[in-house]
Amino acid sequence: PPSPPPSPPPPQPPPSPPPPSPPPPSLPPSPSLLSPPPPPSTTLSLMAKIAQLMLLLAVCLAVGLSLAFDGWARHYLFLPRVSLAIPTMAGKVAVVTGPTLNGIGHISARELARAGAHVVLAGRNAAKAAETMASIKAEVPAASLEFLQLDLGSLAAVREGATELLRRHRKLDILLLNAGTMANPFELSADGFEMQFATNHLGHFLLAYLLSDVLASSAPSRVVVVSSAASFIPEMLGPASALNFSAKSDVDEGSAQAYGPWTAYGRSKLANVLFAQELASRFGNESGVYVNALHPGGIRTNLARHIPVTGGERLALLFTLVAGPLLMSPEQGAVTQLFVATSPEVEQRAITGAYFHPQAREVPPTVLATAANREALWTLSMQLTASFRAGFTPQSVKW
């Protein structure tokens, strides 16, 4: 029989519509230029913090630079653990060289007089010394002062000044060798020596020689040699910059070709340290004469008056604008030398041949302060001053 017809396929359900696509993910709203600004209090707080940070950085920079210049920061941060009060100086005689108005010599003379000492202001310009004396009298009406004509650039004038001092006084308790010149153009002294070496060292050397016996007979007494941190310049620049203390040609017109104002200043300040150490050694610990050198610090005085000539106007302007505000006042700058000149600590601890740094802190000197260099400088200085020492034979020191 015939096969039955195929059955029709079952009906298919209609296709379901595609599911709706999910909505796009929502993005965070982007900041709009029309967004409201932060509250004024928040802005002011941020600005205040920035201002405080800038002020802190400025203070740190000023303190750091002042320390680098041995300026006022050393006065406030490095006061010594000893008393800086000046004991009574009644009955004592003090000589201060270089008492220029508003300099550390002026302040030292004033404070010695305030403590009761009779102070001899030794300088080459009587009119300028009179201004200093008038200023001291205005502050200390009872000050006992006198002027002594003394030109350290002339060995003959140094001898005349020492002779006059010995005629007036039979005792001398403090010899403060404060006078100096810095970084001036090449110039020869009246005796033909480079001026910085002549003024800063050789004149003071002869003066101490001529006064050594009266210092010894007045013991306990002090010799205070004002040097400088510039005494480290020869060490920093190396052997080529160090002064040879072996022949007259090292310090007379023969030194002109290799002359540098700052190098020569450093050499003369090194000579101060060598001289103080050697003089202390020759007096000896039992003499009662205490000889010490010091660096007073970076101080606002007219010592830098030659910088416009030797360093140029730009360096002078930089020094005035930058270094000036960072330096010590003359009152602060006189602290260390007054301590060395008057403190009972010096005698109690028998401090002699030492080197002090601001404020009144005993520290090691330059590595060039060797026995060999001290002896070489001493020998040369004796040779250069020989004709001006005739008739003076000190009994207290083995010169």
| Residues with a known catalytic role | 265
Q: Count Cα atoms within 13 angstroms, Cβ side, for 202.
A: 33
Query: Which region, left, alpha or beta, applies to residue 391 given φ > 0 means left and ψ of -120 to 50 means alpha?
Result: left
Cβ burial 23-53 (10 Å sphere, 16+ → b, else e): eeeeeeeeeeeeeeeeeeeeeeeeeeeeeee
Contacts with 278 (C-beta within 8 Å, 6 or more apart), sequence order:
374, 375, 377, 378
d(CA 253, CA 131): 35
Q: What is the CA radius of gyration of the chain?
A: 37
Using DSSP, state whether 9 is helix, strand or coil.
Answer: coil
Contacts with 344 (C-beta within 8 Å, 6 or more apart), sequence order:
87
Q: Judge contact between 65 and 118, C-beta under 8 A.
A: no
d(CA 240, CA 246): 15
Q: Which amino acid is at 229?
A: A
The DSSP output letter for 147 is E
User: Quick one: how many helices (H) and strands (E) in the chain?
Assistant: 15, 8
d(CA 143, CA 118): 8
d(CA 283, CA 291): 9
d(CA 40, CA 59): 28
